[in-house]
Homo-oligomer: A and B are copies of this chain.
Amino acid sequence: MGATPPRSPLAPARFPDLPAIGGVTLAAAAAGVRYAGRDDVMLARLDSGSTLAGVFTRSATRAAPVLDCEAKIGAESDAGAAILVNSGNANAFTGRNGADAVAALCETTGHALGLPPGRVFTSSTGVIGELLPYDRITAKLGELSGALGPGNWERAARAIMTTDTFPKGAGAVVDIGGRRIGIAGIAKGSGMIAPDMATMLVYIFTDAKLSRPALQTLVAELSDCTFNCITVDGDTSTSDTLLMGATGASGVDVEGSEAFREALHGVMLDLAHQVVRDGEGATKFVEVAVTGAASDADARTHAMAIANSPLVKTAIAGEDPNWGRVVMAVGKSGAAADRDRLTIRFGEVLVAENGWVAPGYREEDAAAHMKRQEVRIGVDLGLGEGAATVWTCDLTHGYIDINADYRS
């Protein structure tokens, strides 16, 4: 994968302190799948009584582990569960061999932990089209199961990194009726995409109690306004996976709890933002907020058209308040727009309204906003109540450096 890129300038200062989650233990190990001298396998174990939910890539060419997770995620079971993740090889586009490798991993993991293979969920991330050397991973299952412990968040987050420049974690502690509920999550991803299609993977755990259908609904809804609202370059991976486990160890049922929903939303948004902050070559964190659209769906279409426009993203890299490119992106998105009702803001600076530059607009004001590390583009369509916010990063020489290198 070439030389390790420097830590993103948008990275948080340090990995956060995450709460231990009753009923969840983790371990990491160096299996040598592709990388030498670093952890590349992560194992998480969830106690019996846990419920699981998942959200997966909708790619038509999704990888074998994703297909296996999708087939299993809807089952009800009291048997406990395990999540096994390797980096270095995505086990994607590997034909029948891909499914065989997943089956072998689930069988061996189940045997080591006393679980049925149907309760083992796997993810793989890294190079695609190469057979996964799964025997290197199964050889480490004894070591992994022996090392399972409650506090290994950062080590687990590091083991699943590919071209990520920092490990990603987020957590929350919520008080519900005087009882403490923990949420902790880790993620990897240098945007939706990375060299050789390494991908976005997210694992979140809580000791709250939630039925499987309630957990699935909650996770799907919150993914829609967090992970599904970020983009680095619009390229969708074959392996994107979010798995969430609720162990119920706290004894607190949170179905319908607004406080829990808010806390989980915060954790998911934090992880999603960290993925953008590690976007390939990123030097700016960008929020695109669209309001006044004919519908929320239209607002999202406009926001994504702006966030994925190479012209907008290069302008941000150049710290250029080039609002004409925002007009262009709105115009091409295909969603409803009326040129003469558009309002555009960079940060708090009103740039354009009523189909032309705003009276009193001074470019130096907008240019000052563009020099910030966090840039906000606000667009109001003036048509209705539809709104959406998405997050992205700029498009820089760093992106070309990372992706135009020949794999080696």
Contact = CB atoms under 8 A, between A and B. Distances in A.
A197 B97 CA distance: 48
A129 interface: yes
B233 A330 contact: no
A396 interface: yes
A87 to B, nearest CB: 16
A318 B404 contact: yes
A92 interface: yes
B238 A331 contact: yes
A16 interface: no
Contact of A315 (B127, B354, B404): B404
Q: How many copies does the complex hold?
A: 2
Interface residues of A, number: 65
A195 to B, nearest CB: 8
Contact of A61 (B308, B330, B399): B330
Nearest to A324: B128
Given A196-B324, A317-B400, A332 B128 contact: no
A60 B310 contact: no
Contacts of A329: 235
A314 interface: yes
Interface in A108-147: 127-129
A311 B93 contact: no
A326 to B, nearest CB: 10
Interface in A23-43: none
A352 interface: yes
A231 B23 CA distance: 52
A275 to B, nearest CB: 16
Given A238-B328, A314-B404, 12 more contacts: A59-B331, A60-B330, A61-B328, A61-B337, A61-B339, A93-B324, A93-B339, A95-B340, A95-B356, A234-B310, A235-B309, A395-B404
11 contacts: A60-B333, A61-B337, A61-B342, A93-B339, A96-B355, A129-B356, A129-B357, A197-B311, A235-B311, A236-B328, A315-B404
